[in-house]
Amino acid sequence: MDKNITDRVRRLRELLDKYNYEYHVLDNPSVPDSEYDRLMQELIELETRYPELVTPDSPTQRVGGEPLKAFKKVTHKTPMLSLSNAFNEGDLRDFDRRVRQAVGDEVSYVCELKIDGLAVSLTYEEGLFVLGATRGDGTTGEDITQNLKTIRSLPLRLKEPVDLEVRGEVYMPRRSFERLNKKREAEGETLFANPRNAAAGSLRQLDPKIAAERQLDIFLYQIGSAPGRALRTHSEGLEWLKALGLKTNPEWRRCATIDDVLDYIDYWTKKRPELAYDIDGIVIKVDDLDQQRRLGFTAKSPRWAIAYKFPAEEVVTTLEDIELTVGRTGVITPTAVLKPVQVAGTTVSRATLHNEDLIREKDIRIGDHVIVHKAGDIIPEVVGVLFDRRTGNEVPYRMPDRCPECEGELVRLEGEVALRCINPKCPAQIREGLIHFVSRNAMNIEGLGEKVITQLFERDLIHDVADLYALKYEDLIKMERMGDKSANNLLAAIAASKENSLERLLFGLGIRYVGEKAAKTLAQAFGHIDRLIAATKEELLAVDEVGEKMADSIRTFFDNPDCLALIDELKAHGVNMAYKGPAPSDESAADSPFNGKTVVLTGKLEAMSRGEAQKEIERRGGKVTGSVSRKTDLVIAGSDAGSKLSKARELGVEVWDEARFLEALKS
């Protein structure tokens, strides 16, 4: 290889990294964009001609590679715990008091802006960026390395060859958010509600090229681990991260007292709208790292840090109308139609009113001047009325006694505040109900997703779940993106679902309070849907785990003539109405190694999903729970098992790998 070429490639990378850092981190570019683009094009051409010169940290590797099939799971070296919250001065002074009681009065804090984005963990080895992951459940996240590489302010190589795990927040600047939504609006796509959702959606793209187009940014704020680096304070760590070339937020401040912390919060509560990005609070951390270690952690959060959440921004606007929506379970939800107003950075024209009782309690009328805020800075809701602005022209609102979609009778079940339409043929409920009916844990009809169901509705081919079983090849083949193979596969999946055991049908029908577990219990207890239909409330209450609410809901459902007509239609199409699984006292479970055992599943299984594994265990008399305790008899650990496996070993609980689990199933 010509030494002049290798030297030129190295020099181009150095220049591009320098200019990139000046532009995206320092916000102080030293060359025009055209010069940066010219040098980048030269590097791309050289790497294309000499692919052996391409390195993982080359600036050309930011454009995004081939689309991924799925995100791999990643176990964090150090758990990414969430912070406990403070909402007022009293909460913060209580935090300060607890800290000083534990480590003494010589305490200082570091205050940082709480960026409203998506938490990530970055891993560098010998200075090279090798892995980026989402927070996930705090122990296990998803590998989004390729998408993170598209963020221009994130260095692919640090200024020192160190090993480092560092935490940060990926966010979408407001200007990027506005540009993205304008583009989506022009293309007829759904708009993102806020920059945080847009950032999260961008990082979850399987195609890195899409993430690259979204122009995300990042701030790094916490060292997870730095082997061989002796740091005394968190503030010293922030300075070191900056020296390594990582982008830290410049607005952090070291505060000597809790009063200084409160001053900082007051300042940014007022200055918050002037930022180029969204924040939803202030993070307060004990600065001294030795004091942090002494304070330690609770099960969920560090004792040495707390997040102050800004009060929800409140604005006044006019309530112009009240509209009703009907959910999948028939709940009628009133929604306020508002004169559009800006709240917490977004335009709000609709807000939830929750239910009829709230409207009455707050005496909300059409035409009122109302106070609106975003609960948690996300969901707009009406919190009150300005009664002194009433003119006498405001109109009181009364909820109807008939469904706004199907004219069916509305009922209020005992103990509930919501009105509910219980007509299973209500068109507003059908679409969501169908999506639930065909879902994996219900009738499991593969190929019948939301888009296909929407098309079937638009073509007037389905009106309720029974219509699925009347679909024909000639109906499907005319649909968009539905070829011969897809149509036949879908018909085969629909036909196969007729053979499902009763519990899947019961769960799929969406009866209020009847979840997956209750559906199985009912199917085992009654054996056939006809016996369940005929069951009295007393007979239902005699079934283990069936309470008053569930019994009333079941009786209300099967007392409805429309529901019975639907069951008859399903029967006519050949849908199975009997329970096919083993009875709870099935003798075949007696010799099973799972019989009477409490089992926990953790990690990824290759041969089946966790849901399938749970069903196999329960069929053999076992009980599957979600957490490891001294009552746990057995833990089955797949790949990438995390904290549950560690807890099991700590408690001395028996642990099986997947191979042993499969062997036990066969026996």
Q: What is the pLDDT of residue 90?
A: 92
In one-letter notation, the amino acid at residue 641 is A
Q: What is the DSSP letter of 77?
A: S
Cβ within 8 Å of residue 32, ≥6 positions away:
none
Q: What is the pLDDT of residue 40?
A: 84
CATH code given to domain 422-581: 1.10.150.20
Q: Where are the beta strands (DSSP E) in 107-163?
A: 109-115, 118-125, 128-134, 140-142
Q: What is the pLDDT of residue 366?
A: 96
Distances (CA, A) of 439 to 455, 475, 501, 505, 607: 17, 22, 15, 11, 21
Q: H-type helices in 50-137, by residue range?
A: 89-103
- Predicted confidence (pLDDT) per residue in 581-629, tens digit: 766 544 455 567 888 788 999 888 877 877 788 888 887 878 888 778 8
Distances (CA, A) of 613 to 435, 506, 566, 583, 597: 24, 21, 32, 18, 14
Cβ within 8 Å of residue 308, ≥6 positions away:
85, 86, 87, 91, 92, 114, 265, 281, 282, 283, 284
Q: What is the pLDDT of residue 667?
A: 66
- Predicted confidence (pLDDT) per residue in 366-389, tens digit: 999 999 887 545 578 888 899 999
Q: Of 248, 233, 606, 559, which is closest to residue 424 (Cα–Cα)? A: 559
Asked if 86 and 92 touch (Cβ cutoff 8 Å), the reply is yes
SS3 per-residue string spanning 478-534: CCCCCCHHHHHHHHHHHHHHCCCCHHHHHHHCCCCCCCHHHHHHHHHHHCEHHHHHH
CATH superfamily of 587-666: BRCT domain (3.40.50.10190)
Low-confidence ranges of the chain (pLDDT < 70): 1, 27, 33, 63-69, 188, 190, 193, 299, 312, 344-345, 375-378, 415, 424, 582-591, 667
Q: What is d(CA 440, CA 516) in angstroms, rounded to the nearest whole number?
A: 11
| Second-level CATH architecture of 3-62 | Orthogonal Bundle (1.10)
The residues annotated as belonging to the active site are 114
Domain(s) labelled CATH 2.40.50.140 in the chain stretch across: 314-396
Q: What is the pLDDT of residue 587?
A: 44
Asked if 295 and 304 touch (Cβ cutoff 8 Å), the reply is yes
- Burial code (b: 16+ CB inside 10 Å, e: under 16) for 147-166 equals bbbbbbbbbbbbeeebbbbb
Q: What is the pLDDT of residue 165?
A: 95
Q: Of 148, 73, 145, 86, which is closest to residue 117 (Cα–Cα)? A: 148
Domain(s) labelled CATH 1.10.150.20 in the chain stretch across: 422-581
Asked if 84 and 307 touch (Cβ cutoff 8 Å), the reply is yes
Domain(s) labelled CATH 3.30.470.30 in the chain stretch across: 85-309
Domain(s) labelled CATH 3.40.50.10190 in the chain stretch across: 587-666
Q: Which class in CATH covers the domain with range 314-396?
A: mainly beta
- Predicted confidence (pLDDT) per residue in 172-222, tens digit: 998 898 888 888 777 767 677 678 888 888 887 877 888 888 889 999 999
Burial (CB count within 10 angstroms: exposed 0-12, middle 13-18, buried 19+), residue 232:
exposed
| Second-level CATH architecture of 85-309 | 2-Layer Sandwich (3.30)
